[in-house]
Structure 1
Amino acid sequence: MPGMSSIVVSGYYGSKNAGDEAMLAAMLEVFTDLDPKIKFTVISTNPVDTAKRHGVKSINWLNIFAILKALKNADLLISGGGSLLQNVTSGRSLYYYMGILFLSVLVRTPIMLYAQGIGPVFGWLPRKLMCWFGNHAKLITVRDKESLTELEQMHISKPLIKVTADPVLAIHSVDKNIGRHILSENKVPHTKPIVGICAREWRGLLHYKKVLADISDRITETFGVQIVFIPMQFPEDVRVAEKIAAYMKSTPILLNDEYTTSELLSITGNLDMLISIRLHALIFAGVMGVPMIGMSYDPKVDRFLNSIGEKAAGNLEQTTADDIFTQFATKWNNKDKVKEVNGQRLAELRRAASSNAEMALDLIRNDRISKH
């Protein structure tokens, strides 16, 4: 591609959420594989951390003038990945991300909604605004079919829209030795099978915490495993793990540190099974070839599991230890078959995830051609 391409990336970056940081790492990895000369500017809540962690230029999410300047000099704004355009978890964040889209429209920089999980979007005004911004994008890729349905229902149809896959699925798998070392440092015995649990706080609910405590005790007793709690968001997930552990009769091991994307992938690769509420922990398991069980707190979890032919073991308000145990026992007794089937499905999703970056570069190339 003649000339150096410049891309501004808008997303939930800099807040030390392992899933979102993995998303950015995966995006940068795929783009760099395709074109090592691309110049990135990432909008972040912590530009110093983002620059250090990912080796890119980063600007503060509230510095409107810096964002405008970066957009004016860019070939493309990438909004994504993740579930940015929804107002279930936060009403204000939707307006913020639409605000960044508005700035891009203002300086006439092409917009790509990148492998997003769209919606749910509630309310007449937010849906009307989404329609306007969606139809001002040059290209939209979504990570699941349900997001496509959301776009159709909001009458967003002008740009090219493609169903691809979550960007994290394109990340390279990593060596397991780093994770093995971390587990050893935390006194995790390698003489027992290891079952990881990734929990998160959700609306102060108590039910699912007691269920996770119960299921941890049951599978420890039945299958002789070691339970290890893994924090995807530090330190919030550690606090949740402590609450769950307080209800347990058996003794779990709580990892109590902040880990990089590579470290978390490597830790996951050492597991025999993962039980997770967090979406990107499930995706890490997929990347590292580990059987998984998902508990749903948000449609995005169900959507991902559906994409690999699986179903969540209930939602956080209604799931029971029996539901999880049934799914766990079935998978435990057929681990090799589960790995094989998941591996085939995830290979297809990996190719789809990589295609997001290919389409973004095609968009820049075609935009340049049209201007000359």
Structure 2
Amino acid sequence: MVRAVLCGYYGLGNAGDEALLATLLQMLPSSVEPLVLSANPTQTQNLHRVAACDRWNPATVLQALQASQVFIWGGGSLMQDVSSAASPVYYGGLMGLARALGLKTIAWAQGVGPLQRSWTRWLTHQALKTCSEISVRDGRSAHLLQSWNLKCTLAPDPVWALDSLPVGDLWQLPAPRVAVALRPHPQLTAKRLESLSKALVDFQKATETCLLLLPFQPEADEPIAQTIQSQLPGPSVILKPNSPAQLKGVFRGVEMTLAMRFHGLIMAAAEGCRCFALSYDPKVSALMTELGLPGWELADLPSDSSEITRVWLEHYANGDPLSSDQIQSQRDRALMHQDVLIRALAT
């Protein structure tokens, strides 16, 4: 049995990152015993049924690494310096320590960057060049690694391949249903949120839909969901499923999804739901381009809420989800991340 330390943005209440961990655990060979570095080990143990330890406790982390043979960066935009320059230091430092202790290192399903500082670019390059295998989830990351002469596997985000579970209570809610997944961001100004809220009110009046408000990171997103819900004239619910698999399963029973959240769009598209994107980040914009999703950059959001409503109604009436062939293609290609794990762990 091989013991592997899994490191990512785990135990911090972000459903997208928990979905990445769930997919990584789903893809790991049965010969691997995982140990997750988590900000909330008890929660991680209960949610994923896996051993976990405190990511903030240096002694515990060192002990975990010393007792393991493999170290895996477990997906997402870990090496970026836009939200915080501390992120590359933490993750890059752990990668360096793992290599110094003789562990095999794997960078799995990474979104590398943006890296605005020269020293974070250097640190990222140093961390990645020692990896046995690297997989990335977007072309921009692959291009950056190619400029560093580093080989990598490019495949869609692994959450495309996450097995979903049905949410029984969902069918008790009125149909048709539309999901909304917004998050706080400097570009989501009070004025823009007001426009979106008014557009949702008018959209609901016109369609008589039940709105499912999905806070992917409840601590951050739920206040926005509550603000919107307080204004809605029709049925709505703030929904917080118990697991990433159930969260993905929510979109089986949804006609359309309006989302800022990257993994909200992926989960919805993967379950055959029509999607409309509101982009705050290059990764969301790239996903819109790749899949041909309609949407706006937040900076370009119409100031007239009636125009927002008009476009949403048009997509609700006439828009199409991805075809079954497109969904299967994304899922099949996402499984290339599993091939990376199998290949790295077999040598």
TM-score of the superposition, structure 1-length normalised? 0.85
CA distance in 2, matches of 1:282, 1:146: 19
The residue correspondences of 1:1-372 to structure 2 (distance < 5 A) are 4-31=1-28, 35-152=29-146, 155-158=147-150, 160-180=151-171, 184=172, 188-190=173-175, 193-203=176-186, 205-246=189-230, 248=231, 250-251=233-234, 253-255=236-238, 257=240, 259-311=242-294, 313-320=295-302, 321=305, 324-325=308-309, 327-335=311-319, 338-341=320-323, 343-366=324-347
Q: How far off is 1:49 after superposition?
A: 0.9
Q: Deviations over 1:224-250 (max 9, x none)?
A: 32223122122432211122345x463
What amino acid is the match of 1:301? V
Q: Secondary structure at the match of 1:314?
A: strand
Aligned counterparts of 1:316 and 1:254: Cα–Cα separation in 2: 25
Counterpart of 2:174 in structure 1: which amino acid? P
Work out whether residues 16 and 233 of structure 1, in 8 Å CA contact, stay in contact via their aligned partners in 2. yes
Count of residue pairs the alignment pairs up:
344
Q: 1:217 to 1:98 in 2, by over 3 A?
A: same
Aligned residue for 2:321, secondary structure, equals helix
CA contact (8 A) 1:314 1:323 kept: no
> RMSD over aligned Cα, in angstroms?
2.2
Moved over 6 A (4+): none
Give the Cα separation in 2 of the matches to 1:48 and 1:249: 36
Partner letter of residue 329 of structure 2? E
Tell me the alpha carbon deviations over residues 273-300 of structure 1, each in whole angstroms, 9 at most, x when there is no partner: 1101111111111222111111111111
CA distance in 1, matches of 2:226, 2:129: 46
Deviation at 1:323, TM superposition (A): 6.3
State how far apart, in whole Å, the 2-side matches of 1:233 and 1:310 are.
23
Instruction: Specify whether residues 258 and 347 from structure 1 end up closer, same or farther in structure 2 by C-alpha distance, changes over 3 A only.
Output: closer
Measured in 1, the distance between the counterparts of 2:221 and 2:282 equals 20
Report the 3-state secondary structure (helix = DSSP H, G, I; strand = E; otherwise coil) of the residue aligned with 2:9. coil
**Which sections of structure 2, spanning at least 5 residues, go unmatched?**
none
Paired residue for 1:369? Answer: none
Query: 2: distance between equivalents of 1:171 and 1:139?
Result: 21
Q: Do the aligned partners of residues 249 and 41 (structure 1) sit closer, same or farther apart at CA in structure 2, a change above 3 Å counting?
A: closer
How far the C-alpha of 1:326 sits from its partner, in A, is 5.4
* Local SS of the residue matching 1:275: strand
Distance in 1 separating the partners of 2:317 and 2:178: 14
Tell me the TM-score normalised to structure 2 length. 0.91
Deviates more, 1:279-288 or 1:319-328: 319-328
SS at match of 2:5: strand
Shift of 1:257: 4.7
What is the deviation of 1:324? 4.4
1:121 partner amino acid = L
CA change 1:136–1:322 in 2 (3 A) is farther
